[in-house]
Amino acid sequence: MDIIHVLPDSQQFLPEFNKSWTDWRWQQKNALRDEGSLRTACGGWSDEIARRIQQNLQGQKMQITPYYLSRILATKQSDDITTSPLWRQVVPFWREEELNGYDGESENWELNEEMKTPICQHKYDNRVILRMVNACNSYCQFCFEALRTLKVNSDKSNAGRTSFQQSLEYIKNTPSVEEVILSGGDPLMLTDNKLDESLAAIREIREDLLIRVHSRALTFNPYRITDALIETLKKHRVNAFGVHVCHPLELSNEFQNAVRRIQSVVPIVFSNMPFLRGINDNEETLHKLFIDLYRMGVKPYYLYHFMPFSPGSSEYKASINDAIAIMSKLKRRVSNIALPEYVLPHMKGKFTVPLFTNAEEMPYFETINGRRYYRFTNWKNEQCEWLDN
Ligand code: SF4
């Protein structure tokens, strides 16, 4: 771990400092995974912060690539690194008592009846998600799939040969499936060969099957977008690529180069973004994020409200009211091309939250025993509720 502390800009310094810097495997191998190395690389922090991180890492993973750390250091605007919106995403820094709402077991996105194989989730009528791998380049501490990705010794299955074959059979035998989404974790954690093999098998099922890939590699390890990967996406005619991104400070030159390369072979590139308190829950940050993505030719697609059952939920969970107010203002400021749908990722399916310009117009809240619930009817006409802040 000989590099990182002092790199203010990874692109500017990489050739002089490290010939391996642009090798995505080197980035993964040299990722920081413990509090001590991270504290040293960041120039130190208080014993209290150190204690909290160490405590939260019992049973939970942290992993930060040298590339992402270099972004944190290059973009920090205060000596207090804990205020960095990038640092806050990948470091479990909250107090234990702030775990409000997280029971360590509930995961409200993967319902048992939707799991057709250990890795194949069929939630919506015409598409399935294949959870190809539980690993990621770095770990977002707000992960919506926390039980797969963040939990040490997750009991959720990776895509072994058997579960992958079972999933192919399910897709073959289910004509209503028009689209297959490769997700995870991050499917780009697989090797190029493995991805090539997997995409070939999916493409072979039906010529007109839509194939979509979701990844956060561009923010955590943009060097993952190799020539071989681009060839693979092209060869199997991947139809759409979802870039996961959270903050404009993540839109580096490396990120943009990786986007351009994907755009050269995949017709539709879009972005999914979480809405996180203290990270991007303000109008100016989201405005810059959406407009900069639009400039790159990436369609801002969904802005996801935080899921209630994730570690550190009270740290990251903003209020729905705040999100509606911000998105309503942005709707007047930017074109719809730059404006994502703001959605609640409820276990019974995503719900697009209507935008209103003043609070009196919002009929969806109900207060019960002092707690405020947002109520809505989902895509299956089922009544759902969401405990708001
Ligand atoms: S990259 Fe995606 S799946 Fe992986 S930890 Fe982040 S949010 Fe979760």
Sequence-separated (6 or more) residues with CB below 8 Å from residue 139: 61, 62, 63, 90, 149, 150
Q: Is the CB of 255 under 6 A from ligand 1?
A: no
- DSSP state for residue 356 in the 8-state scheme: -
Q: How many Cβ atoms sit within 10 Å of the Cβ of residue 43? A: 12
Cα–Cα distance for residue pair 345/358, rounded to 1 Å:
23
**43-101 residue pLDDT tens:** 999 999 999 999 999 988 999 999 999 999 999 999 999 999 999 999 999 886 655 55
Ligand 1 pocket, mutate which of 60, 65, 132, 149 (most atoms under 8 A from CB):
149
Give 1's pLDDT tier (boundaries 50, 70, 90): very low
| Residue 389: per-residue pLDDT | 67
Looking at the CA of residue 146, tell me the nearest atom of ligand 1: 8
Q: In what order do the strands lie in the sheet with 371-377?
A: 365-368, 371-377, 383-387
Pull the structure tokens for residue 235: 């060869």
Give 225's pLDDT tier (boundaries 50, 70, 90): very high
Q: pTM of the predicted model, to two decimals?
A: 0.92
Ligand 1 pocket, mutate which of 91, 143, 147 (most atoms under 8 A from CB):
143
**347-389 residue pLDDT tens:** 888 899 988 766 566 657 788 888 888 888 888 888 888 877 6
| Residue 388: per-residue pLDDT | 79
Ligand 1 geometric centre to CA of 71 (Å): 18
Q: In the chain, which residue ranges form alpha helices assigned H by DSSP?
A: 10-17, 24-29, 35-42, 47-56, 66-75, 87-90, 146-149, 161-172, 192-205, 217-220, 227-235, 253-263, 283-295, 313-316, 320-333
Task: Select from 303, 241, 300, 302 the least CA-distant residue to 269.
Answer: 241
Looking at the CA of residue 137, tell me the nearest atom of ligand 1: 1
The label of the residue with tokens 């780009």 reads 188
Give 251's pLDDT tier (boundaries 50, 70, 90): very high
Ligand 1 geometric centre to CA of 276 (Å): 14
Cα–Cα distance for residue pair 140/89, rounded to 1 Å:
6
Cα–Cα distance for residue pair 371/361, rounded to 1 Å:
20
Q: Is the CB of 143 under 6 A from ligand 1?
A: yes
Ligand 1 geometric centre to CA of 16 (Å): 31
Task: Select from 160, 161, 269 the least CA-distant residue to 225.
Answer: 269
Pull the structure tokens for residue 81: 């690194």
Opening angle at CA 287, ends 281 and 288, nearest 5: 105
Which residue has the CA at smallest separation from atom 8 of ligand 1? 143
Q: Is the CB of 145 under 6 A from ligand 1?
A: yes
| Residue 4: per-residue pLDDT | 43
Largest CA distance in the chain: 61
**136-169 residue pLDDT tens:** 999 999 998 888 888 888 878 777 889 999 999 9
252, 86 in Cβ contact below 8 A?
no
Q: Is the CB of 216 under 6 A from ligand 1?
A: yes
Q: Which amino acid is at 75?
A: T
Q: Is the CB of 184 under 6 A from ligand 1?
A: yes
**9-52 residue pLDDT tens:** 444 444 456 788 999 999 999 999 999 999 999 999 999 999 99
Q: Is the CB of 149 under 6 A from ligand 1?
A: yes
Ligand 1 geometric centre to CA of 91 (Å): 13
Q: Is the CB of 236 under 6 A from ligand 1?
A: no
| Residue 361: per-residue pLDDT | 65
**DSSP assignment string, 185-248:** S-GGGS-HHHHHHHHHHHHHH-TT-EEEEEE-HHHH-GGG--HHHHHHHHHTT--EEEEE---G
